[in-house]
Amino acid sequence: MMSDWSLKGEHAIVTGGSSGIGKAIAAELLRLGATVCIVARNGQRLEHALAELRDISNKVGMLPADVVSTEGREAIKAYAEEQHVSILVNNVGTNIRKPLSQYTDEELEIVFQTNLLSAVKLTRDMYKILKQADSASVVNIGSVAGHMHIRTGSPYGMTKAALEQMTKNLAVEWAADNIRVNLIAP
**Which residues form the catalytic set?**
156
Mapped onto helix, strand or coil, the DSSP state of residue 163 is helix
Cβ atoms of residues 87 and 80 within 8 Å:
no
DSSP per-residue letters across 48-80: HHHHHHTTT-S-EEEEE--TTSHHHHHHHHHHH
- How many CB atoms are located within 10 Å of the residue 150 CB? 12
Residue 177's alpha-carbon distances to 13, 19, 128, 139, 180, in angstroms, are 19, 32, 10, 16, 9
DSSP 4: T
